[in-house]
Each structure stands twice: as structure tokens, then as C-alpha cells.
Chains A and B, each alone.
Chain A
Amino acid sequence: DVVMTQSPLSLPVTLGQPASISCRSSQSLVYSDGNTYLNWFQQRPGQSPRRLIYKVSNRDSGVPDRFSGSGSGTDFTLKISRVEAEDVGVYYCMQGTHWPSWTFGQGTKVEIK
């Protein structure tokens, strides 16, 4: 299986300050069609996961533009430009390139200092 490693696992942030989460894969996530299938999901406390970003940097409809994704190959980053209270939760990266098992990172817990 492709291993997805996130860091940090815990991220205390001051309101209004930026936050950054790293995600590294054990193999390149470039698929045979040329796309890189790296997704980011947010899971707020007590809620279902919600997709924020797909194909590395494509933001979903309704996702605030303070969220951005970047990276290539095996190294990826989710950035929040200015953290708001509603951003508290756990963030997961997930690779959708390597079959038969898509894999998630361990999750990064974002909390307010």
C-alpha cells in the first residue's frame, strides 16, 4: 500500500494566523492519465468528512478561498491563509492514484490556541 504521512499531527493556531499541513506519499501520485489524485478532506468535530480539495489544488464549490492546495509527485501541502474558528477539526490527505487501496494520511488536528 502507498503510505501517506502527514505532519504535524497536531496544529495549534492563533485565530487569523496561517496554518500549513504537509502530506508525503511513499510513491509518486502521478497517474497514467497525467493527473495527480491527491485529495484533502476536513472533518469537523462530530461531523462527516467533507472534501475541500481534489487533484492537488482544485478547491470544491463552497470552500473558502483561504484554503489552498499545492504540491507534486510525492510532496503536498494544504494551507489556510487565516485560520477561523470554523476551521477547527481534523484534516486528512488521501491518495486516489494507486489501486486497489486508496489510502488516507493519519490526520492533522487543527485547534485554536
Chain B
Amino acid sequence: EVQLVQSGAEVKKPGESLKISCKGSGYSFTSYWIGWVRQMPGKGLEWMGIIYPGDSDTRYSPSFQGQVTISADKSISTAYLQWSSLKASDTAMYYCARHPSMVGGEADYWGQGTLVTVSS
């Protein structure tokens, strides 16, 4: 069974750093892309970027380029989303999703989401 299991909820202060994770199982982790999606409170979905764990090829949406870093450790089948300096506006639910290809946006399996709260 394909599963994406994300790390737990985080409460951080502005300016702090953070790295959240997404662990894949039940499939060949290095053969699929992992994408990240943001959902701000009460709002819609925004695609952030995508990584191919097989070779760490990473692409970002222009809106998120330079704001976050996406990485992966294929040895433990885990993808990451990280911030170096959080802002209150980063408060959101973040989802990872598996993509069969870099073309198409066809996210076929999703993680349960990680809620990030940034507040002083």
C-alpha cells in the first residue's frame, strides 16, 4: 500500500528555522516525484515545488523560489520542506504528494498534512 506519512504539527516563532518531512513507503521512492502544496487557513491549494528523489532534481514555483528549500534523502525514502527564517505568513497546512511524472501535476497519493503555526 502506497503511503506518505508526514511529520507532526509545529509551532514556531518568527525568524526560526524549520524542516518538515514526508516519508514514502509501499512503492519505489526513487522512481516518483514528490511535490509540496500549501493551504493557508481557510484558503485554497497552492503548488510550491517538486523533487525527484532519484537524482534530487528540484523545481520550484516562482512564487516560492527562494522562500523554501525542498530536498530528499533517498536512503530513508524521505522528502523535506524547509525554511531558514519563518514568517507569520508561513502559517499553513503543508501537504506532500506523489507524482508519477514531472509532467501533468497528477498527484495520485497525498500525505496527511503538516500544520505549521508561526506566532510570536
Contacts and interface: CB of A to CB of B under 8 A. Distances in A.
Contacts of B46: 104
Contacts of B61: 100-102
B95 A102 contact: no
A97 B110 CA distance: 20
A11 to B, nearest CB: 15
B45 A41 contact: yes
**Chain B contact residues: helix, strand, loop or mixed:** loop
Contacts of B62: 1, 100-101
A48 B111 CA distance: 7
A54 B103 CA distance: 12
Q: Which of A35, A94, A97 gathers the greatest number of chain B CB atoms within 10 Å?
A: A94
B105 A94 contact: yes
Contacts, number: 70
Contacts of A33: 103
A89 B22 CA distance: 25
B11 interface: no
B108 A103 contact: no
Interface residues of B, number: 22
A92 B107 CA distance: 13
Interface in A1-38: 1, 31, 33, 35, 37
Contacts of A50: 110
A101 B35 CA distance: 12
Interface string A30-61: 01010101010101000011110011000010
29 contacts: A37-B104, A39-B104, A39-B106, A39-B107, A41-B45, A43-B45, A48-B110, A48-B111, A48-B113, A49-B107, A49-B110, A54-B108, A55-B106, A92-B45, A95-B105, A96-B105, A96-B106, A97-B104, A99-B59, A100-B60, A100-B61, A101-B47, A101-B61, A103-B47, A104-B45, A104-B46, A104-B47, A106-B44, A107-B44
